[in-house]
Amino acid sequence: MTTPIHTISLGCPKNLVDSEYLLGGLPGIAKPVDRPEDAQVVLVNTCGFIRPAVEESLAEILDAAKAIRDISPKPLLVVAGCLVSRYGEDLKAGLPEVDLWLSTHELPDWPAKIALAMGRAANAAPSRIFSSPPGYAYLKISEGCRHACRFCTIPSIRGKLKSRPVAELTAEARQVLASGRKELILVAQDLTAYGQDFADPSSLRELLENLLPLSGLERLRLLYLYPAGLTPELLDFMASAGAPLLPYFDIPLQHAHPDILKSMGRPFAKDPRRVIDLVRSRFPEAAMRTSLIVGYPGEKPAHFNYLLNFIREVRFQHLGVFAFQAEEGTPAASMPGQVGPKTRQKRREAIMAAQAEISEEWLSGFEGRTMDVLVDAPHPEWPGLHVGRTWFQSPEIDGVTYVSGPGVKPGAMVKAVIEETKIYDLVGLVG
């Protein structure tokens, strides 16, 4: 027996992992379908982190409800995830079209609740049905967060830090690799906090020691490394470990000026150059990514210019920047010195313009080089062309490598000569 399901997973990779676990626990065998009209279950796994994400989630819910409104029998419309955890009761009153609401606080029960609503039994031995391309998969190592940044809604949505045991993660990693996937991407709100909530504290190093020797693992990528947790001892271990651990560092700084960092309540409120220098002293060729917030309350022109100069000096390979959103329920929303929306947007554009120049210049140095490219998917418009990634390109958040030639297919690792470089992307050819 199959369960046709149309899934819309919004927001971060952690949400995608939640959706994949849910698919594996549905009654019978989940059969993903492209159109909500063809489904028995329509799932919208929402993001509620910032206002634009909330608006996107609401739009997707309404679109899904409209698509199945006149179908008989009507598919079960399920809305899950962070939006539900943040606005649960208010949502239920305003969206009577939704049949079932699932918050992040009841993640393990999602399949059983859907099965009950369908009048069937959930799978006794739930698996995980991957929805990412065949070359990689995410491994969520913990839930929640132990920090209290004044702009962030995550602790109130996802709760306190709750790490998964090393043995459990290692077993799941083996299953992922047995499916033929070559790249594991570890995700959490803060990877460096992993295991600190255990009665007998563990560490990210212990987890890496268990994962790195696994057969079939060609790339191990770490996302969301908080600067305060990147100690010299951890970096020394990572440098000695070598491949398949990638020298790719996603370090969410959020700002560079110490006054703004302190006001944000960041766990690392000193000069962020220190952690950048620590990483580069051990990984001179590291690919470094960060995320920033501009227009935070109290950010004056001098603070912003300090940040802009910092970006130009440090020269991150990848960078994401957000204009501050005053999120309901966070201390930052009621702080004095709120920055106007036009100013916030102008500052964001200035940072991105500087980053575009940095990225284009850096990527130009790869022209003519032969690089390993992990192929993700065919190009949606150009027959014969595929979209893939080099070691310094993480899915969804970084640029891509367009590649063509013999043996290029989803899931393959190919050697390509970089024929052309763009602002954020590469173009390669397999000989």
Q: Which residue, chain included where needed, has tokens 């698509």?
A: 67
Report the distance separating Cα 73 and Cα 381, nearest Å.
35
Going along the chain from its start, the domains and CATH numbers come out as 2-118 (3.40.50.12160), 136-364 (3.80.30.20), 370-429 (2.40.50.140)
Angle between helices 204-211 and 232-241 (to 10 degrees): 10
Predicted confidence (pLDDT) per residue in 2-51, tens digit: 889 999 999 889 899 999 988 888 877 788 898 999 999 999 999 988 88
Q: Across 124-247, where does the E strand assignment appear?
A: 136-140, 142-143, 162-163, 183-187, 219-222
Structure tokens at 42: 């329509």
Classify burial at 259, counting beta carbons within 10 Å of its beta carbon; exposed 0-12, middle 13-18, buried 19 or more.
Answer: middle
**pLDDT at residue 286 in the model:** 96
Report the predicted TM-score, pTM, of the whole model to 2 decimal places: 0.92
Predicted confidence (pLDDT) per residue in 371-425, tens digit: 999 999 999 899 899 999 999 999 999 999 999 999 999 999 999 999 999 999 9
**pLDDT at residue 133 in the model:** 94
What average pLDDT does range 212-233 have in this prediction?
A: 94
Residue 269 has pLDDT above 60, yes or no: no
Residue 89 has pLDDT above 80, yes or no: no
C-alpha separations of 112 from 10, 14, 116, 126 in Å: 22, 20, 6, 10
